[in-house]
Structure 1
Amino acid sequence: MEETAFFGLLAASVLMGALVLHRRKETREEARLRREKLVFHAVSIKSGNEACQAAQYLKGVRFLAQEAPGLPLPGCHAAECTCVYVHYDDRRFHNRRDVYMNKVYLAAEVEVERRHEAGRRKTDRPSLQAAH
């Protein structure tokens, strides 16, 4: 019976060790992804109804979080500033590759072939059979 208890305890220990190691691996990966995401963390300034001129000027502008101006904005003359930061994962509004996703590049006119010689591949050369 002592052997059964020993092997049961050993199996439980191995299982717990495997779970701990697996959990650490996930945590490291999540931390790496979080750090990468924070590199381009951005903010914009959302102002209230009585926004100062500085807040109105910056409406819709995204800043990298570490480059954003502090609140209240310099030049704010409100008795109590109601501006807040709105957070984003990325500074960009749209995916830069939208033109490729919409296949706009395929709509370009096809230019006239300017090469005079055939390519080096067998498929680029005219077949001898076709010439006869």
Structure 2
Amino acid sequence: MSTRAACIICHEGATGSRTLVSNPAMLKELLDCCKERVALGQNDLQIITDRLENLSETDRASAYYHSECRKPIVNKTEIDRLRAKRTDFNSPGCSQRGPGRPSAEVGSRPKRTKTTQKAIACMFA
């Protein structure tokens, strides 16, 4: 009975445009990045983290992945963004408010008032 090789991340096999790669060192890097991202709050990677942690050395040596699946997870820019988000959230001046425009009470802009009456500004009766 033969088992078909599949990506450890997406569980799909090789296709014409997506080849499977076996590189234990890169799988170690993938595991490290998954652990860090989970620690930074990206809980959707917990399943992949658990799967990689439970691999024996022999299984890790024979595990496959698509480069297209691995690259977004090990993306250093995304990890740095998550770190910065965590740092900003934990800073003392951080509010619990989400992204977007600040609330009216935060702004120091005075309320708008009319400066010219409508009857004077209007050219038509």
The TM-score range, normalised by the shorter chain, is under 0.3
TM-score, normalised on structure 1? 0.26
Higher strand proportion: 1
Higher relative contact order (CA 8 A, sep 6+): 2
TM-score, normalised on structure 2? 0.27
